[in-house]
Amino acid sequence: MGANSTVEVPAQNVGTVLTVVAESVMTNPNSFWVLYGQHTEPTYLEDAGGGQQPQRDRALEYVQSWRVCLDIGSNIGQWTRPLAKKFQSVVCFEPNPNFRECFKRNIPEHNVVLWPYGLSDREHKATQDFNSTVMHHGDGDIDCRTLDSFGLTNVDFVKIDVDGFELPLLEGARNTLAQNDAVINIEMKRSKRPDTVNKCESILKDLGYRFAKRTKSDEVWLKP
């Protein structure tokens, strides 16, 4: 791994953010720094797998424009890397600082912005364990904001993987989703969180979306 540098990336209505650019020598597209359950620090794997490639490929079949993509719950960047090769810009949200450390090592692309926030229905604090993808309401060190507060436009694709925080996220994203005709790929664990899924469906339908396809636990929703 080469030395890291920083690049200033402008973002709409929120100023400029410093994004770490790793001068990576990785040649395998599935090589990633990871932080799985058994790891206590970022660990390099030559082959970390395809990072839900079937779900991603199926969802991208519905995309017709390739301007702005949102990667919400970007984790270590396994979706981000291939998305950055297709879209003009990728705006990522990852609240866990330990996953962000891996992300910065994994993603060298200059068209990627990484925001250190959880997305919710209002500004508040939350908690998250060391290498957990689950976020909890509480007086912790995670900062939460609404997606609408970023004022993003020209959004053509939204990937959502937030492990139980889908409902507050969608509540805080109503304006963004209403004003953009983005294809949405959202994890919907129907057997595990049926009440949350039903409420999320209601919001999506209110915004003019319809269900299109399910691959494993991921669902694609579109506007007609």
Cα-based distances in Å from 166 to 73, 85, 134, 216: 10, 26, 11, 17
Query: Residue 26: its pLDDT value, please?
Result: 53
Domains and CATH numbers, the chain: 4-222 (3.40.50.150)
DSSP string, 101-143: HHHHHH---TTEEEE--EE-SSSEEEE--TT-S--EESSSSEE
Is-contact 34 105, C-beta < 8 A? no
31 alpha carbon, distance to own chain's centre: 19
Instruction: Find the largest Cα–Cα distance for the chain.
Output: 48
Is the overall model pTM greater than 0.85, yes or no? Answer: yes
pLDDT per position as a tens digit, 18-68: 344 444 445 688 999 999 878 889 999 999 988 899 999 999 999 999 999
**What is the token pair recorded at 127?**
């908690």
pLDDT confidence of residue 136: 87
194 strand-pairing partners? none
Distances from the Cα of 110 to the Cαs of 39, 113, 157, 184, 222, in angstroms? 28, 8, 19, 24, 29
Residue pair 116/92 in contact (Cβ under 8 Å)? The answer is no
Q: Which regions in the chain score pLDDT beneath 50?
A: 1-25
CB neighbours of residue 173 within 10 Å: 27
Percent of the chain with pLDDT over 70: 88
